[in-house]
Copies of this chain bind each other. A is one copy, B any other.
Amino acid sequence: MRKLLIAGSLLLASPLVWSQSKSLSGFNDADTKQELQLESTFDGYLSVPNIDSGIRIMSSHPHHVGSPGDKAVADYILQKFKSWGYDAQIETFYVLFPTPKERLLEMTGPITFKAGLAEPALKEDGTSDQTREQLPTYNCFSADGDVTGDLVFVNYGVPEDYDRLARMGVSVKGKIVIAKYGRSWRGIKPKVAQEHGAIGCLIYSDPKDDGYYEGDVYPKGAFKNEYGVQRGSVLDMPIYPGDPLTPGVGATKDAKRLDRKDALTLLKIPVLPISYHDAEPLLRALDGPVAPEEWRGALPITYHVGPGKAKVHLKLAFNWDIKPINDVIAKMPGSQWPDEWVIRGNHHDGWVNGASDPISGQSAMMEEARAVAELHKTGWSPKRTIVYCAWDGEEPGLLGSTEWVETHAGELQQKAVVYINSDGNDRGFFEAGGSHALEPFMNEVARDVIDPETHISIADRKHARELVNAAEGGRLKKDLLQKKGFTLEALGSGSDFSPFLQHLGIPSFNIGFGGEAAGGDYHSIYDSYDNYRRFKDPSFQYGVTLAMAAGRTTLRMADVPLLPFDFRALYKTINGYATELMTELDQMRESTTLINQILKDRDYGYATDTARHLLPPVAKDDVPYLSFSSLQNALGDLEKATNHLADTLAKAHLTGSGAQAVNEALYRAEQQLLSDNGLPRRPWYRHSIYAPGFYTGYGVKTLPGIREAIEQRNWTEAQQQIELDAAVLKKFAAYLASINVGSSGLAKK
């Protein structure tokens, strides 16, 4: 009844009725009308059955890097793009891709136990029995190793967990650690374990984070059953992504390769992911202090930190092969500005069948591309060249996108207007991250796409969720209620936008839907078509909606006369980050002083249960005052430059080559935010504003040079990074100020 009412009221608010009053940045009135008409036609071409069959077909067999399934999917995509009239081809790279030769995990005493390390086939899941085609459960880029030692439970295995272990008097030196999946990207866990002297690492999915605690388990419900295992890469991508043997250059057949031992992104210790079924006997055997409350999961045991009498033996050996990866690149040339490229991508390789990750996104992208091709058949051509990319090798380490970007870096920095990424997609809310100069633009896109469940715009639904989340958390405030538009998330890593944005400075987006389809299938054999259609997006409507959102993003960026970069939004964002950092530094200073004081007063000793032997934390050096003045001055310049540019663009009436020159200056502006030497100790990452965290992995660090130096309490480096970022922002402001818009008349708005 309620649904009918909503649907009824919706007829009045459909996009066609709205279109008269809508404005699109960078389009004049006539162009706007035409563009909205085009999008409406585009929407009409999108087909639910195509999304469905695309997912079914491409996830019908395991298709990890180097497998027959992988090649078959690439060929399928190629053939499809060709059939739709794209200029499509496969570009092949040759990358290091280890696969397991031997996997052994056992407890040798006091109880003996041998881990099963296998996900069983289920009759409710039609592809789960393709055992011979499946990669076994493993962490890709683990080291070979044969180690035996005591076991220590390290919570999520992030640096602060080791601080806590030290307070409990527990060292992992010479021991094997067991960490929970979650909190950080998985690759951080063995890296930090290795830094602390561990000789091996197990990562398990605790049922609290990923299992029965969350809901009914597969196949009754969507959540991880006791045997489910999350595969995944542990390449040290925060150093650089892509083939570990060819940093910075394309992994072509004849590329010069590092020796494996010299590759900085390869671990030295063995690491293995296990199920909670396999983890339980190991954790149960631990002794030592009871784990702090925040560490405990949902297994029916008392979580101890260890060590105990139990000895664990972990033996792993891998085939360290070079495998081909096949990127499918499909172009539709621009009619007016063929050398300006709007690039749209989604990977196609999966860890196993990958129905959700990544095929749901791939199928939506292909349906979008098919509809664009249909538009083309009606006589329309994009003004700029559209490039569809189906990446291979994303799972092991963004291999396909990174190698392609590194191979074509020069051309891309010249031609790439924007990179629009998606990945796995399911029911729920619009999620969007990206370059903040395009935040107003993405708000217009989300304003114009209707959510299939609620029939309001995906922007309004996102706002509703923000309001209700705040209300449920007791944090609802008036300013949130009145907030206009949404904030674009800053991008860290975890999908193929990373090389475009962080290595080349190409404006990027990462978009998709989610939040209503949590489950435990991620990187397991149960990420299947059968699972997807029951739990992820049963109507496949969110595939269509992703095609609508990403399609609009692509079409508008391809057709817009004046590129809709608004650097005022970027300025505001960076200024926000800078303010946040200054506040955090002040808070760090205050809390350091106070905690050092209570340490000096021995309050920790007095407050601690004398039977628990918890040591006080280590006193930290005082936090100095850093000078932010150069950064603040640079931000002042930037504010002025962005306001001036916005004003002149609003007044300008750009046509012909003048427009082209201005557009080129606009889309290449973000490259000015690259620093020459990149981030400390990881020069591949050159963007001064966005980077994945050195100790978070996927999680973003904004103003990363400064922020991470502060977090690591490296004050000298923090001050250096402030100066470096100030110089970059000053250069960026000067660049924007120098854009010659001209003044050939007032725009008709």
Contact = CB atoms under 8 A, between A and B. Distances in A.
Given A213-B296, A300-B298, A607 B469 contact: yes
Contact of A476 (B461, B598, B608): B598
B212 A300 contact: yes
Copies of this protein chain in the complex? 2
Given A454-B606, A594-B478, A301 B212 contact: yes
5 contacts: A214-B290, A296-B298, A298-B300, A428-B609, A468-B608
A670 B32 CA distance: 77
Interface residues of A, number: 57
B609 A516 contact: yes
Given A221-B302, A468-B598, 8 more contacts: A213-B302, A299-B300, A454-B606, A460-B606, A464-B598, A465-B607, A467-B598, A476-B595
A310 to B, nearest CB: 16
A192 B559 CA distance: 63
Which 3 pairs of residues, A with B, have the shortest CB-CB distance? A464-B606, A468-B607, A464-B603
A306 interface: no
A460 B601 CA distance: 11
B595 A207 contact: no
A488 to B, nearest CB: 20
A449 interface: no
Contacts of A428: 609
B606 A300 contact: no
Nearest to A480: B594
Interface in A454-499: 454, 456, 460-461, 463-465, 467-469, 471, 474, 476-478, 481
Given A474-B591, A477-B594, A302 B216 contact: yes
A2 B603 contact: no
A1 interface: no
B302 A481 contact: no
Interface of A: 2, 6, 207, 212-217, 221, 223, 290, 296, 298-302, 427-428, 451, 453-454, 456, 460-461, 463-465, 467-469, 471, 474, 476-478, 481, 515-516, 590-591, 594-595, 597-598, 601-611
A598 B471 contact: yes
A476 B476 CA distance: 26
Contacts of A221: 302
A471 B610 CA distance: 19
B591 A290 contact: no
Contacts of A606: 451, 454, 456, 460-461, 464-465
A611 B519 CA distance: 14
B467 A516 contact: no
B609 A302 contact: no
Nearest to A304: B216
A541 B339 CA distance: 84
B302 A215 contact: yes
Given A216-B290, A302-B216, A610-B453, A598 B465 contact: no
A223 B460 CA distance: 49
A607 B212 contact: no
A207 B300 contact: yes
A8 to B, nearest CB: 13
A60 to B, nearest CB: 26
Contact of A603 (B290, B467, B597): B467
A290 B215 contact: yes
A613 B180 CA distance: 32
A607 B603 CA distance: 46
A465 B605 CA distance: 9
Contacts of A454: 605-606, 610
A540 to B, nearest CB: 15
A609 B300 CA distance: 30
Contact of A611 (B214, B516, B594): B516
Nearest to A287: B216
Contacts of A463: 603
Contacts of A6: 602, 605
A185 to B, nearest CB: 23
Contacts of A610: 453-454, 516
A217 B302 contact: yes
A214 B476 CA distance: 34
A94 B451 CA distance: 69
A559 B468 CA distance: 60
Contacts of A212: 300-302
A300 B302 contact: no
Contacts of A594: 471, 476-478, 481
A251 B298 CA distance: 49
Contacts of A468: 598, 603-604, 607-608
Contacts of A461: 606-607
Contacts of A300: 207, 212, 298-300
A516 B610 CA distance: 8
A138 to B, nearest CB: 26
A661 to B, nearest CB: 44
A340 B336 CA distance: 102
A597 B481 contact: yes
A456 B606 CA distance: 8
A601 B476 CA distance: 14
Given A605-B2, A607-B467, A481 B598 contact: yes
Nearest to A226: B300
Nearest to A300: B300
A154 B589 CA distance: 45
Nearest to A280: B300
A351 B604 CA distance: 37
A212 B304 CA distance: 11
A705 B512 CA distance: 52
Nearest to A595: B471
A132 to B, nearest CB: 33
B464 A607 contact: yes
A516 B214 CA distance: 32
Contacts of A464: 598, 601-604, 606-607
Contacts of A469: 607
A463 B603 CA distance: 8
A598 B465 CA distance: 10
A198 B193 CA distance: 52
A133 to B, nearest CB: 31
Nearest to A597: B481
